[in-house]
C-alpha cells in the first residue's frame, strides 16, 4: 500500500529556533499534501493544504509566516515552524493524496516539544 | 464551517461488551471516513462510506452512514483489549477525500 514517511518522529528545540518537518510519499506521487496539528487527546486540525509547485492554502487562524510549507516535488512536502515557542508544542501529522479524489495516506507524525 | 460532533469522548468498557460511537453534523458530507490512531502514530484508515444508508462491516466493526449523509456510527461487537485506541471520524468536503474535517475523537479503553 501507499506509504507516507514523516521525519523526524520526535524533535525537541529551544524557543526561538526553527524546525523543519519532512513528509515524503514513498511509492506514489502526492499531488496534494495536507498538514494537521493535534494536541494531546484531541482531534486533528487541518492547518494547510499544499499542492506541488504552488503556494499552500492555509486554514483560518493559521499563521502563514510561522508555518512555512514547501511542496517542491511530487514526493516531498516540508513544514517549517519558524521562531518556535512552547505553545507550538504539538503533534504534527502530514498526509498525502495522489489526486484530489484520491484517498489519504497519513504519516506517523512528528512530536514537537519547544522548551 | 462544517463541524463533526463525535460522542462519546471517552469510553471505558470490559472485554466482551458492545459499543457504539456516533458522529453527527448539521451539514452534508460527500463521504465519511473512520480512523483509528495509536499514541505517537498517524491515523490509520478503517473505512470510507460514501452512499447514504451504506453499511460496511470489518470483522467485528460495523460502520453506517446516515441516509442524509450527515451522521455516521461505528459499532464494535464483543470488544477486545486490542481495540483500545483513539477512534476518529472525518468528513470530506466536496469531491475531495483529502480535505477532511475531523470529529473530536473517542478514546476507547477495553479492559481485560
Band (pLDDT 50/70/90 cuts) for residue A56 is: very high
Asked if A95 has any chain B CB less than 8 Å from its own CB, the reply is: yes
Collapsing DSSP to helix, strand or coil, B83 comes out as helix
User: Residue A100: what pLDDT?
Assistant: 65
A104 vs B86, B97, B103: nearest CB: B97
User: Residue B2: what pLDDT?
Assistant: 56
- The distance of B34 to chain A (nearest Cα, Å) reads 12
The pLDDT of residue A31 is above 90 = no
Spell out the residues 6+ positions from residue B66 whose beta carbon is closer than 8 angstroms to its own.
Answer: B52, B53, B72
Q: Which is nearest to A74 in space by CA: A55, A108, A51?
A: A51
**Contact yes or no for B18/B76 (Cβ under 8 A):** yes
Strands of B2-111, DSSP E? 5-7, 10-14, 19-24, 31-37, 44-49, 55-58, 61-65, 71-76, 85-92, 100-102, 106-111
Asked if B42's CB is within 8 angstroms of A95's CB, the reply is: yes
Query: Chain A, 25-84: which have a CB under 8 Å from a chain B CB?
Result: 32, 34, 36, 41-46, 49
- Taking only the tens place, the pLDDT of each residue in A65-76 is 999 999 888 899
- Taking only the tens place, the pLDDT of each residue in B53-65 is 999 999 999 999 9
Separation of alpha carbons A46 and B98, rounded Å: 10
**Which stretches of chain B sit within 8 Å of chain A by CB?**
6, 33, 40-45, 48, 86, 88, 90, 95-105, 107
**Contact yes or no for B82/B108 (Cβ under 8 A):** no
Q: For residue A49, which residues of chain B lie inside 8 Å, CB to CB?
A: 98-99
Phi-psi label, residue B14: left if phi above 0, alpha if psi -120 to 50, beta otherwise: beta
What's the order of all strands across the beta sheet hosting B19-24? B5-7, B19-24, B71-76, B61-65, B55-58
Asked if B40's CB is within 8 angstroms of A45's CB, the reply is: no
Q: For cell 511542496, name the residue.
A: A71
C-alpha cell at B4: 463533526
- Taking only the tens place, the pLDDT of each residue in B68-90 is 999 999 999 999 999 999 999 99
Torsion angle, alpha carbons of A88, A91, A95, A100, to 10: -50
Separation of alpha carbons B103 and B50, rounded Å: 17
User: Residue B97: what pLDDT?
Assistant: 63
Taking CA–CA distances from B88, the nearest residue in chain A reads: A43
User: Residue A51: what pLDDT?
Assistant: 85
- DSSP alpha helix (H) spans, A4-109: none
CB atoms within 10 A of CB B96: 19
Q: For residue B88, which residues of chain A lie inside 8 Å, CB to CB?
A: 43-44
**Contact yes or no for A15/A114 (Cβ under 8 A):** yes
**Contact yes or no for B77/B24 (Cβ under 8 A):** no
Q: For chain B, first and last CA: distance in Å? A: 40
Band (pLDDT 50/70/90 cuts) for residue A37 is: very high
User: Residue B94: what pLDDT?
Assistant: 73
The pLDDT of residue A99 is above 80 = no
- Give strand pairing partners of B10: B107
Band (pLDDT 50/70/90 cuts) for residue A41 is: confident
Mean pLDDT of B7-24: 97
Mean pLDDT of A38-59: 88
The pLDDT of residue A103 is above 80 = no
User: Residue A1: what pLDDT?
Assistant: 63
C-alpha cell at B78: 464483543
Amino acid at each position: 500500500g501507499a506509504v507516507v514517511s514523516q521525519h523526524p518522529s520526535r524533535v525537541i528545540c529551544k524557543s526561538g529556533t526553527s524546525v523543519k518537518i519532512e513528509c515524503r510519499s514513498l511509492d506514489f506521487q502526492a499531488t496534494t499534501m495536507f498538514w494537521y496539528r493535534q494536541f494531546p487527546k484531541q482531534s486533528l486540525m487541518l492547518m494547510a493544504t499544499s499542492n506541488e509547485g504552488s503556494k499552500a492554502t492555509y486554514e483560518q487562524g493559521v499563521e502563514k509566516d510561522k508555518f512555512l510549507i514547501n511542496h517542491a516535488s511530487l514526493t516531498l512536502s516540508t513544514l517549517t515552524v519558524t521562531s518556535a515557542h512552547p505553545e507550538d508544542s504539538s503533534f504534527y501529522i502530514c498526509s498525502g493524496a495522489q489526486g484530489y479524489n484520491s484517498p489519504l495516506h497519513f504519516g506517523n507524525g512528528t512530536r514537537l516539544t519547544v522548551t | 464551517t462544517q463541524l463533526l460532533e463525535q460522542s462519546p469522548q471517552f469510553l471505558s468498557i470490559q472485554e466482551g461488551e458492545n459499543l457504539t460511537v456516533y458522529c453527527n453534523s448539521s451539514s452534508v458530507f460527500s463521504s465519511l471516513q473512520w480512523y483509528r490512531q495509536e499514541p505517537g502514530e498517524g491515523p490509520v484508515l478503517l473505512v470510507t462510506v460514501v452512499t447514504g444508508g451504506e453499511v460496511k462491516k470489518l470483522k467485528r466493526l460495523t460502520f453506517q452512514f446516515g441516509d442524509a449523509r450527515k451522521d455516521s456510527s461505528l459499532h464494535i461487537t464483543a470488544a477486545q483489549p486490542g481495540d483500545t485506541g483513539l477512534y476518529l471520524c472525518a468528513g470530506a468536503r466536496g469531491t475531495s477525500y483529502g480535505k477532511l474535517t475531523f470529529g473530536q475523537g473517542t478514546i476507547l479503553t477495553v479492559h481485560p
